[in-house]
Structure 1
Amino acid sequence: MPVTAVEETIRTTPIRVTVDISPALHKALKRWCNGAALDLDLTDVALAGAARALVAELTEPDPTKQLPGLEERVRARLKAGDYTHTAPTQAQAGSAAPRSRRRRTARTEAQ
């Protein structure tokens, strides 16, 4: 049986995926990325990098490396059409400032 052109072609370039999120979810994700950057001692954690890491975790083929409950939680949100938070974000709860002060205090003490 002859091989078709589609079977011979393997895509190696990245595929762009775009998504629209609410302003509140965008703000929460930016805050998470900023906190992750501080925790990891990086200058920046890009939104795209966080999204790639989440996709990698969600599609992990090795069951022993999968995050327990992640797939079920995502499926439940998809079924319910729920793309919001289940609890107030740090900004909504007014607790964003204490986290950054704690981090600076820890760094100051380490020096």
Structure 2
Amino acid sequence: EPLRSNSSRSEKAKHRTPQEMFLAENMLKAEENRRQNQQAGDKYPGICPRNRVLLRIDPDGKETVLRHGVLDYALLPDGRIVCSNGTHVLLLEGEQQTELAKAKLAHELTVLEA
């Protein structure tokens, strides 16, 4: 019979499904990404890696990074952008960022006109 620990934590770890293991691993990556974004000086650090960027491509082909670590975005009719980095929903107006809401994994944004 294999050795067993009296710890309930190790028992739970032994009986994780592949899906639970995948989610746990990604939660660790999300926290690591948040720390890296914070260290990079992000005012609203999110859980997406910094290499996920929201780009604007001008008609002449010039690329401008609007935001690092973007999980999802929605373009408003007036050209402003609502985006999520997983922990914050932000409004982008030119170079200004305004926090609209804190969120736990905001990953599918839809903006409705009022």
Bigger relative contact order, structure 1 or 2, given CA contacts below 8 A and separation 6+? 1
Q: In which range does the TM-score fall when normalised by the shorter chain?
A: under 0.3
Q: Higher helix proportion, which one?
A: 1
Q: Higher strand proportion, which one?
A: 2
- TM-score (structure 2 length as normaliser): 0.23
- TM-score (structure 1 length as normaliser): 0.24
